[in-house]
Chain A
């Protein structure tokens, strides 16, 4: 009886976490470069009350009694499916078509990884993201640049007022992971490496499995509103059904208390 109470409680907690994740996905439906998450659940350990194969009187029990202890969230997994491309016409808006991340230097010197390619120029002309983190390898756009073009391989070239011939500034490099789902999401569209993600491989866009860079586009969030809504309904009903189990267990306990007057 008490077991049923706690078992159903794990189910309710699981659905609560599920809803938290769904809510975060929906909140980020318009976030550039956002990747949706999913919670994976597993059942908890089983208590074997009677192992199969034991004898009861003259009969042998073919299957025993195993009672489970509920469910647990085992992983929140980022789904790195490609988001839609949104044309912006802004020359510093970049998408990665395929695998790879842009690399950004954080103030403490570590590298963060992102799929959100809305870059800007800071006061020194360096390419930075919306929070001012510098894109690696650092590229400085001359102040008199008139036309910036970024190729599918990430090469950045500019035409300046002083020289009408295109001048190559450098090449944007991408990073790739064996297990991107193992990256640690730290918010602000950034990811950090973990033991699970493995160390990054860096390389030029469009080569050796790296995606190619597209200029004038942004990758929108890969959240599907309809899918999240369906998930939300399912989570709500699952929550409800578990609360019914708690209620039943409670009623049964009340009855047990009434055996003696």
Chain B
């Protein structure tokens, strides 16, 4: 009986967490290179009881106190938008730009780069973009910057560096790190991308689909409502048990 209340509460918790994820997707609808996140509740169906770790008949088996979900990043490509800005780069196909420190790099699809103070190619918040030799890319202070499909940067006909574009074998292993960047576990190797083309003067927009996200939000809201009704139902039953039966 009381476990019924707990189940309803955990369902409500789950939906509110889902709303938090959806709200984050919507908040980042204008962040270039942002990848939408989806929360699913696979684990809830295989809770300790069902997984067999606790005998199914044991009425004292604890129910998960919080919903066991998992967030999965949707790495599908976003729409490319022409900006005409020579330092806006987009990747068509599979791959990530590598930014940050050479020993602990971050992966990103957000290619709105700028020329930093010392002439290095950086992200808007100052993380250097790395080349294939894992070094920051220093841009010359004159001449137009050209970037070809393979990510080779040149100015006035002379090659400066080639962008390090990697296509890790398991994108599922990447974790989110803020700043529209992903952190790769130390064990994951970062091989060069074979199926990626760089587009200069374009930005990849967020891959959030506002329509689907709104629909999902309505769904979350209604499931939440239904769970709330369930909680009230259990409460009413309990109320009968305590107040009416006890009176006899």
B34, closest chain A residue (CB): A43
Would you give the shortest CB distance from A216 to chain B, in whole angstroms? 26
CB neighbours (8 Å) of B173 from chain A are 52
Q: Is the CB of B112 within 8 A of A40?
A: yes
Q: Is the CB of A42 within 8 A of B51?
A: no
| CA distance in complex: A181, B85 (Å) | 12
The residues in A between 1 and 55 inclusive whose CB is less than 8 angstroms from any CB of B are: 1, 3-5, 7-8, 10-11, 14-15, 18, 38-46, 48-50, 52
CB neighbours (8 Å) of B163 from chain A are none
Q: Is the CB of B172 within 8 A of A209?
A: no
The secondary structure that dominates the B interface is: mixed
Q: Is the CB of B30 within 8 A of A18?
A: yes
User: Provided the pairs A40-B124, A67-B24 are in contact, do residues A258 and B175 lie with their beta carbons within 8 angstroms?
Assistant: no
Would you give the shortest CB distance from A23 to chain B, in whole angstroms? 16
- Of B14-22, B90-98, B146-154, B191-199, the one contacting chain A is B14-22
The CB with the most chain B CB atoms within 10 A, among A4, A49, A59, A62, is that of A4
CB neighbours (8 Å) of A256 from chain B are 12, 228
B84, closest chain A residue (CB): A81
Assess whether A208 is interfacial by the CB under 8 Å rule. yes
User: Provided the pairs A57-B51, A74-B125 are in contact, do residues A176 and B23 lie with their beta carbons within 8 angstroms?
Assistant: no
Assess whether B71 is interfacial by the CB under 8 Å rule. yes
CB neighbours (8 Å) of B117 from chain A are 178-179, 182, 195-198
Of B21, B26, B178, B225, the residue contacting A45 (CB under 8 A) is B178
* Contacts beyond the supplied A4-B16, A14-B27, A251-B221: 13 A-B pairs with Cβ under 8 Å: A14-B30, A38-B83, A41-B28, A43-B28, A43-B176, A46-B175, A57-B54, A65-B69, A68-B176, A74-B124, A74-B179, A77-B124, A178-B118
CB neighbours (8 Å) of A65 from chain B are 17, 39, 69-71
Q: Is the CB of A70 within 8 A of B24?
A: yes
Q: What is the 8 Å Cβ interface bit string for chain B, positions 89-117, against chain A (1 contact, 0 not)?
A: 00000000000000000000010101111
Would you give the shortest CB distance from B204 to chain A, in whole angstroms? 13
Q: Is the CB of B214 within 8 A of A235?
A: no
User: Provided the pairs A43-B176, A43-B178, A46-B178 are in contact, do residues A8 and B26 lie with their beta carbons within 8 angstroms?
Assistant: yes
Q: What is the 8 Å Cβ interface bit string for chain A, positions 65-107, against chain B (1 contact, 0 not)?
A: 1111111001101010100000000000000000100000000
Q: Is the CB of B110 within 8 A of A42?
A: yes
CB neighbours (8 Å) of B80 from chain A are none
Q: Is the CB of B28 within 8 A of A67?
A: no
Please classify how large the interface on chain A is, using the bins under 10, 10 to 19, 20 to 34, 35 or more: 35 or more
CB neighbours (8 Å) of B29 from chain A are 11, 238, 241-242
A-B contact pairs, 28 of them (CB 8 A): A4-B16, A8-B26, A11-B23, A41-B28, A41-B31, A42-B110, A42-B180, A43-B176, A43-B178, A45-B177, A45-B178, A46-B176, A50-B70, A58-B52, A62-B70, A64-B175, A68-B176, A77-B112, A77-B114, A195-B117, A196-B116, A235-B30, A238-B29, A241-B213, A242-B29, A244-B214, A245-B22, A245-B27
Q: Is the CB of A11 within 8 A of B26?
A: yes
CB neighbours (8 Å) of A71 from chain B are 27-28, 30-31
A237, closest chain B residue (CB): B210
Assess whether B4 is interfacial by the CB under 8 Å rule. no
